[in-house]
Structure 1
Amino acid sequence: MKLHLSAPSNQLLRNNIQITGSKSESNRSLLLQALYPNISIDNLSNSDDAEVMQKGLKIGNGVVDIHHAGTAMRFLTGFFASQEGKQVTLTGSKRMTERPVKVLVEALRHLGAEISYGKNEGYPPILIKGKKLEKSQVSLPANISSQYISSLLLIAPSLENGLELELVGKITSVPYIKMTLALLSQIGVENSFEGNTIKVSPKAKVGPVNLVVESDWSSASYYYSIVALSEVGSEICLSAYKDNSLQGDSVLQELYTEFGVETRFEGNTLVLRKVGAPKGQTVQFDLGNAPDIAQTIAVTCFGLGMGCHLTGLHTLKIKETDRLEALHTELSKLGADISVTDKDLTLGLSGTMKAEVAIDTYNDHRMAMAFAPLAMKIPLYVNDAEVVSKSYPDFWKDLEKLTFLVDEV
């Protein structure tokens, strides 16, 4: 599906948008529910990834195809490895077979798991024979994707002796690790995170307990971008959010003050308001704890004619696509002065933007949604726009609520 996007006729925006639960929280909660059936979940994400996770958890034997869902690949690897009697082949899309899982597989093997590779060493598909994992100590490099770490932490309380996890080096994506540990605490699992050591105590039974999933802050980022690119006085209300969020992307509240966007809470409603011009011409952000919002911020800066230097982005190269190279290619098409390395991005001050450019999305939901706010400034096309269903199926409908013109080509 190819879409043509153009700006609302009135750029003083006013509307309310309901966003479903966080994909990250939903998939963690679903795995815990599979381990402890007394858990109930409210405000579950309606994303493809959450649906894939639900289906995967119900399979006992055979092939589990998680398509593009990286979170499901990592989480289900740990889950099935710890489930005695289950035997599955865990696979996914072509891109998924190019995304490494070796670090996680090696850690699980150290704990006693029986996992082999179906094709290429270190990559899916992987063959898993579930068994009782009797060891309780393992180490991992600290600078890897937090999903590897969370995969181990989520199954930890179901292990007979719990788990002691040593992280070697400088830790990145700390908020996602803390999100996992906070959910464990909510279901009554004792845990600690001191220095580079995480300990999770065993727990045989849980519940009954109800987990309420907060709405997705990554999805909120696109509205921060829209408000930043709109007229002063624009106001968009998003629900349902918590002031003390578990999600690392909630740092948006602080970062977007640089672009003239003010955040306030009214109960569980997040109110975004454009209060003034950007504070400067260039921003520098370390996004090591919130890499998923890098695309949104880079596009916001380009739309405002600002420059930016974004660091801490080393995990973006193994996402749905190599997001750094994808940003370089697509922003260059629009006229940006941009350079990237394997871990950072630099955008120069820009003048004009090329209109009616077709943005390629690379099977990456965030490419589609991060570039959409630019329609506030120039009409553009988005190729393969249906990719948003991975995390936010209602995105294009919600843009239409803001009176964006969204036409299928």
Structure 2
Amino acid sequence: MNAQKPELLQHPIFVAPSNLMAAQPEVPSSKYYTLRYVLAAALAAGESRIILPALSDDSDALFRGCRALGADLEWEDEQQQVLLIRGSGRPRATGPVTINVGNAGAVARLFLGLGALLPDITFVTDHPQSLGKRPNRELLEALTQLGVTCEGTGVEGCLPITLHGGAIRGGKVTISGARSSQYLSSLLFLAPLLPDGLEITVVDGLKSQPLVRATLEVLQEAGIRVEYDDHLLAFRIAPGQQYQARTYTIPGDYPSAAALLAAYAVSNDPASELRLSRLRPGDEVGEALLQAFRDMGADLRVNGEQVTLRGGRRLRGFELDGDPVIDCIPVLVAAACFAEGESVISNIESLHYKESDRINDLCAELRKAGCSVEPQEDAIIIQGRPQGVEGGAVVDGHNDHRVLMALAIVGLRSRRGLTLTGAEHIAKSYPHFFEELQRCGADIHPVTPQA
């Protein structure tokens, strides 16, 4: 069931300065919703169908985890567009369980909560320099409050992690929302399966609220009742609930669309027109993302689920509260590098704790390309260069798909192109991203080693 790796990712790649042409690429399915719907289906007793799930390295980790918790997954079609899931009703295992979560942070965290229902489960990663460095301390502290014995690595609770649970009942728990909303989502998926239910109090604020609302939306569709306040800081989940088998259709992925939109937004050619479909209107992340492109002056039109963006516009500097579109920030920074004037993207401190440090690492690589970017603890300040940047450098993706997308966009508008190392990590969420850019007219080719 592994997502097939494109041949282009076998070596470093060169992104040459390119003019993009009119194109209608297919947007990948939403990673956010694939994770949540597949998980809800795996926890339901009976058969569910997932139509158009995302296919990526993260999806592979998700499918492995669901099987380890007792669900059966198989494709109904050779095109891998419909996934049949026979759920287990709750995590079940007779002996110790080990799950390799790959480089999928959200998968790891949501499964950590459900793993508390098993007597002995260990989470490992084969990406120690990326996911292996991401903190889980706050979530492990919350699980400890519920009676789980948690064995994490280091003071921040990094992987590998072993949990000894199985007999937890629920009750009341406090969780910090300062660094990640995934901790809260993990508890929300766990809560209906606890004999005494769960009351959750969120402290220190809550990052990425749109993704918590996505969790609540999916839980409701799966038949789970959750009571919560308007600020998403207090939740009550009654005991005795069961996930219901359903058919779910996955919408298009806005963070992936953001990369394509940014590539066209920075184009100087008004003939470069991008048309994207299957982008659900009213999506909270999507609406904030599209507004950001409007604020920078992009030629953007929306008609139902179709979004069209035409290049050739002079972009302008803008200010953005980045938290609602946190996974789109690297490509928005890349676009701002070619806008006129200063752009300030703030409220993004959580980017320090992603697959890479998406503030400092991203800015270090953009500076190699000739961009004027200033990293701060909670923001990135960009001095735009509408005339373009020099390029001609070797830049690294830091094991991070979002950083790779941003660097590719800059390479397209540089004078001498960019060589990207670590390009294979694009497969985490969008395995065919570089091939898609090629079909849009980009000159991208592998850099093969000299004999």
Q: Does the TM-score normalized on the shorter chain lie above 0.5?
A: yes
| Structure-1 residue corresponding to 2:440 | 402
1:272-291 alignment to 2 at 5 Å? 272-274=309-311, 276-278=313-315, 280=316, 282-291=317-326
Map Cα deviations across residues 327-385 of structure 1 (whole Å, 9 max, x no partner).
22112112233222221111224465122222210100111111212233222211111
Map Cα deviations across residues 135-161 of structure 1 (whole Å, 9 max, x no partner).
232111232201111111112222223
1:7-406 alignment to 2 at 5 Å? 7-8=17-18, 10-11=19-20, 13-38=21-46, 39-59=48-68, 60=93, 61-83=96-118, 85=119, 87-92=120-125, 93-95=127-129, 96-117=131-152, 122-194=157-229, 195=231, 196-202=233-239, 204-230=241-267, 231-245=269-283, 248-274=285-311, 276-278=313-315, 280=316, 282-350=317-385, 353-378=389-414, 379-406=417-444
Change (3 A) 1:171 1:204: closer
Change (3 A) 1:190 1:233: farther
Q: Which runs of 5+ in 1 are unaligned?
A: none
Q: Post-superposition shift, 1:317?
A: 0.8
Name the count of aligned residue pairs: 402
Are the aligned partners of 1:249 and 1:293 in contact in 2 as well (CA < 8 Å)? no
| Larger mean Cα displacement after TM superposition, 316-325 or 230-239 | 230-239
Change (3 A) 1:402 1:103: same
Change (3 A) 1:32 1:319: same
Q: Post-superposition shift, 1:70?
A: 0.9
Q: Which runs of 5+ in 2 are unaligned?
A: 1-10, 69-92
Backbone CA RMSD of aligned residues: 2.1
Are the aligned partners of 2:289 and 2:325 in contact in 1 as well (CA < 8 Å)? no
Runs of 4+ in 1 over 4 A off after TM superposition: 118-121
Q: Post-superposition shift, 1:77?
A: 0.7
Change (3 A) 1:334 1:118: closer
Are the aligned partners of 2:337 and 2:372 in contact in 1 as well (CA < 8 Å)? no
TM-score, L = length of structure 2: 0.83
Secondary structure class of the residue paired with 1:190:
coil
CA distance in structure 2 between the aligned counterparts of 1:175 and 1:72, rounded to whole angstroms: 17
Amino acid at match of 1:47: S
Amino acid at match of 1:4: F
Amino acid at match of 1:5: V
Change (3 A) 1:37 1:354: farther
Amino acid at match of 2:334: V
Map Cα deviations across residues 187-232 of structure 1 (whole Å, 9 max, x no partner).
1212233132122334533433112111111101111111211223
Change (3 A) 1:307 1:118: closer
Q: Post-superposition shift, 1:285?
A: 0.8
CA distance in structure 2 between the aligned counterparts of 1:408 and 1:108, rounded to whole angstroms: 46
Amino acid at match of 2:405: M
Secondary structure class of the residue paired with 1:52:
helix
Secondary structure class of the residue paired with 1:304:
coil
